[in-house]
A and B are shown apart, each in its own frame.
Chain A
Amino acid sequence: MAAMKRTILLLSVLLAMAGTAPASAALLGENSPPGKSFLNTSIEQVAGDVNREMPPGSGGAWLEGAAEFSVAPATVRQGYSRAYRAVSEAEYQDILRTGQFRQGPNSLEGKWFADSLEGAQGHARNLFPDGKFRLIEADLPNNAPSLFRQPNLDGLGPARYLHLDDLNGVTPRPVR
């Protein structure tokens, strides 16, 4: 009987924690390095559902075979700016596999990011006319040595560039 009571109590506690998890994640994410919170393994990452795959170009984040995804904190940490990037299917897969930005064989030694999601989508339409692209977001340090801000890149609004050296520790996240 006592064992049953303990089990019921434990289940109640777990259910209560589950109900408050999203708010806790957002709150703790504010004071933790982007994507580096201890919540990474419990709340900020959720299991991927292979049945929810979305077509390339839809901006969807779910991809067959992916196991875990980082969820963006609701607020951006002070000293960081959230920015967006359209990537190829190959770069997307590499991001899912490694959890970081890396250089491709035909790419720059850094990465351009649009300050707005619309800017990234505009680049995607021109860089990937077949519609096979994914959208990534990341919180970028405002004081990175290589940070180069462009007031208007390709007529699509503000954009910023960071060398890969300054993207170590930056967590890319699929845009949902």
Chain B
Amino acid sequence: MRAVVEWIPKEQGGRSQPPAGVGSPPYATVVRFADTKEPWPPPVAWSLVVEKDEAQSERYRWIADVHFLMKEAPHDSLREGRRFELYEGNKLVARGRILTEGEPPAASTA
């Protein structure tokens, strides 16, 4: 799936800078869907792999390919238009949204 990912600046509680977004192993961290009613931390958390599309990305705003790290993960939860958050431990580091097919990547997560 394609997604727009917006990294939270350090001044707003995020990382000191976004990860490189490319290379092996890929960047992968815990995802939480914004519309979930699950408690935090959830009974089972799943890691989302985020791979930056360098041609279409800016430093703090990426267009990225996203998928779960594990094949046992609930893949059907990655639905078009769904909003998500990325966590490193208990720290919210980025917000994102799954792009709909044919959607121009300029759209914001907001």
| Contact residues in B for A147 (Cβ distance below 8 Å) | 89
Interface size class of B (residues with CB under 8 A): 20 to 34
Contact partner, B22, options A106, A109, A152, A153, Cβ 8 Å: A106
A127–B44 CA distance with the chains assembled, in angstroms: 18
Interface string of B66-110 (1 = CB under 8 A from A): 000111110000000000000011110100000000000000000
Report yes or no: B70 in contact with A155, Cβ–Cβ below 8 A.
yes
Describe A's contact surface by its main secondary structure: loop
Report yes or no: B47 in contact with A150, Cβ–Cβ below 8 A.
no
A102–chain B nearest beta-carbon distance, Å: 14
Describe B's contact surface by its main secondary structure: loop
Verify if B29 is at the interface (C-beta below 8 Å from A): yes
Verify if B13 is at the interface (C-beta below 8 Å from A): no
| Contact residues in B for A161 (Cβ distance below 8 Å) | 88-90
B6–chain A nearest beta-carbon distance, Å: 17
Report yes or no: A105 in contact with B15, Cβ–Cβ below 8 A.
no
A106-B45 CB under 8 A given contacts A126-B69, A127-B28, A128-B25: no
B18–chain A nearest beta-carbon distance, Å: 10
Contact partner, B27, options A106, A123, A153, A154, Cβ 8 Å: A106
Report yes or no: B89 in contact with A88, Cβ–Cβ below 8 A.
no
Verify if A38 is at the interface (C-beta below 8 Å from B): no
Closest to A160 in B: B89
Residues A133-160 near B (CB distance < 8 A):
146-155
Interface string of B1-41 (1 = CB under 8 A from A): 00000000000000110011111111111100000000001
Report yes or no: B28 in contact with A148, Cβ–Cβ below 8 A.
no
Report yes or no: A154 in contact with B70, Cβ–Cβ below 8 A.
yes
A163-B89 CB under 8 A given contacts A108-B29, A153-B30, A153-B47: yes
Contact partner, A162, options B24, B69, B89, Cβ 8 Å: B89
A70–chain B nearest beta-carbon distance, Å: 24
- A-B pairs, top 4 by smallest CB distance, nearest first, are A161-B89, A148-B89, A106-B20, A105-B20
**Chain A residues proximal to chain B, CB less than 8 Å:** 88, 105-110, 123, 126-128, 146-155, 161-163
